[in-house]
A = this chain, B = another copy of it.
Amino acid sequence: MKIGMIGLGKMGMNLVSNLLEHKHEVVAFDMNPDSVSHAAGKGAVPANSLEQLVASLEPPRVIWAMVPAGGPLHSVVTTLTPLLEQGDIVIDGGNSHYKDSLALAEQLSEKGIHFFDVGTSGGVEGAEHGACFMIGGDETAFRHIEPLFRDLAVENGYLYAGKSGSGHFLKMVHNGIEYGMMQAIAEGFEVLDKSPFEFDFEQVARVWSNGSVIRSWLMELAQNAFSKDPKLESIRGVMHSSGEGKWTVETALDLQASAPVIAMSLFMRYRSLDSDAFHGKVVAALRNEFGGHAVESAK
């Protein structure tokens, strides 16, 4: 199949490699010409603009956008829309909010263009060697692009999830689960770290990765991380986040669903951003007020 790829960052570039590996033709565009050259070096047809990318494809065109959610994606779609025709297909493989995907799908459907919201999981390596895809959009049109997913995904690694929005909704919840799993694993190692025993964390992660109930890719990644830095002394425990965990909690709030573990995972991330938390000052001050308990002075 011939496919246009917009956005050649870590994920997009690896998808290009994966597609070329599976003998698809790829027309590649990115704002950064170096990235376009790099893709061309791998065998993709370079495009210097969205116009050129569209012109290099035949209807019904299949265009995959792998760009940051929000502004960049919307601007790409806005530019694309007048260039496309009825029956063309736009795939958003990024981490967009499912409500934005719903809105884009509706907007494009007015011109007869199919929009697919595709959640992509598996990390950077997965993009190259086989990832996991959750796909929302029109079912008939999906059958047309299904061969792409069959090639890009690991075995059994893609799902047509349902109507528009369902792909990114699944990816959002996937990330919420990911937050909870990571925090659970991390708390376990924190207990080990504070224990009276002398554990070799790499070995612990290794044995837990083989045959145990908690075996998982994340545990294998923990083994990798500990193999490079046995006590993670070189890094700080600051936990950034990129939005999907927050969306999961917000969605749980809207749906009145209990999600204490996912929420707590997120709040511990936020807590880690403050070297000293204001709520801690308030509690310390209150203890001092009623019980005369000493406070620690700042600097």
Contacts and interface: CB of A to CB of B under 8 A. Distances in A.
A175 B286 CA distance: 13
Contacts of A188: 173-174, 176-177, 180, 248, 262
Interface residues of A, number: 132
Interface string A233-251: 1111111101000101111
Interface string A66-107: 000000000000000000000000000000000000000000
Interface in A142-185: 153-159, 161-163, 165-166, 169-170, 173-185
Contacts of A175: 213
Contact of A216 (B190, B211, B216): B216
Interface of A: 10, 121-124, 126, 130-134, 153-159, 161-163, 165-166, 169-170, 173-195, 197-199, 203-204, 206-219, 221-222, 224-225, 229, 232-240, 242, 246, 248-253, 255-293, 295-298
The 3 closest A-B pairs by CB, nearest first: A237-B280, A180-B184, A216-B216
